Amino acid sequence: MRKLITLFIILYLPVMLFSQRSELGLMLGATYYLGDLKSSSNHFSMSMPAGGLLYRYNWSIKVNAIFGYLAADDNITNPPQKYRNLSFRSPLFEFSPHVELNFFKYQTGHKKYKFSPYLFGGICLFYFNPQAKYNDKWFDLQPLGTEGQGTIEYPDRKPYSLISFGIPFGLGLKFSPTKKLNIGLEWGMRKTFTDYLDDVSKTYVDPTILSTQKSPMSGILSDRSEIIHAHDSQRGNSKNNDWYSFASLNLTFKLDFSDKSCSAYPKRISYPKFFKNKKVTPQNFPQ
């Protein structure tokens, strides 16, 4: 992911920054998760602080780089499953290009076209790493294979990737109070292509298998309830992938690197009176 972001910055961003229709700014807000540990009826519960950088070109093409956290806990975000006692947190890094569809004509700094609601959509590449807390220490869950990933008994369960794609979409509102400043409010969802933001998807596995083939912590963190669940009983819902959301206040500033003394066209040249209304030929050219 870092390599892709670096490549974008090297190849494209310098060219786009020198456009007079470019904006660069900050995003401050919150992220939250929806999945096996949190239902869609409980949107903003356990929201985590997040922020990032925003680049907008031509007032409708946008690129985000976001950092935040996702978290959920059965005891807080999913009371019907509180006896399952699963929880997680995960850092989140997102890189995403968007296209904005403005409801009204909009231009930063324009006296007339300075306000518009909008819809946006795009694609995102993101990194996550679910962790669980045990005895006041955080453990990365993906290497532990808590659902049998990487064991002989479950050859079809491969370790999941910590980098995935998603489809961001949502709505926003932007306003330009000055010639250079743009203020925006935005809320969007990310439909992901992974069911492991929370490390929960399929069924429980015999903790003895996990402890011997993976590690003792694998068996402990796979089932954290007071009652040990039967092997292959339901742990999560693999039919639905996880989602996450980002809501933010955006502040962007119009970039203008143009040289006021230069122009794309040369200034009009003042010719001597001799050349006015005369056809210049070698014969009448002044010596």
Within a domain: residue 287? no
pLDDT of residue 58: 81
Which regions in the chain score pLDDT beneath 50?
Answer: 11, 15, 17, 259-267, 269, 271, 274-275, 285
Termini Cα distance of the chain:
69
Number of domains in the chain: 1
Within a domain: residue 283? no
Q: By C-alpha distance, which of 43, 63, 81 is closest to 245?
A: 43
What DSSP state is assigned to residue 268? P
Q: What is the extent of the structural domain holding 160?
A: 2-275
Burial class (CB in 10 A: 0-12, 13-18, 19+), 51: middle
pLDDT of residue 40: 81
Within a domain: residue 191? yes
CATH of the domain at 197: 2.40.160.20
| Beta-carbon contacts of residue 150 (< 8 Å; ≥ 6 apart) | 157, 158, 159, 213, 214
Within a domain: residue 65? yes
pTM, 2 dp: 0.81
Within a domain: residue 282? no
Helix H or strand E segment including 169: strand 163-175
Residue corresponding to tokens 């954290």? 224
pLDDT of residue 20: 56
Within a domain: residue 39? yes
Cβ atoms of 1 and 163 within 8 Å: the answer is yes
Cβ atoms of 263 and 38 within 8 Å: the answer is no
Within a domain: residue 248? yes
Within a domain: residue 284? no
Per-residue pLDDT tens digits for 148-180: 999 999 999 999 999 999 999 999 999 999 989
Residue corresponding to tokens 């912590």? 217
Neighbours of 99 (CB within 10 A): 12
Cβ atoms of 109 and 119 within 8 Å: the answer is no
Helix, strand or coil, per DSSP, at residue 165: strand
Q: Which two tokens stand for residue 84?
A: 């399952």
Per-residue pLDDT tens digits for 216-266: 999 999 999 988 888 899 999 999 999 999 999 999 998 875 544 333 444
pLDDT of residue 273: 54
pLDDT of residue 142: 97
pLDDT of residue 226: 85
Cβ atoms of 109 and 147 within 8 Å: the answer is no
Q: Please tell me the distance from the alpha carbon of residue 203 to that of residue 236, in angstroms, as a whole number.
A: 6
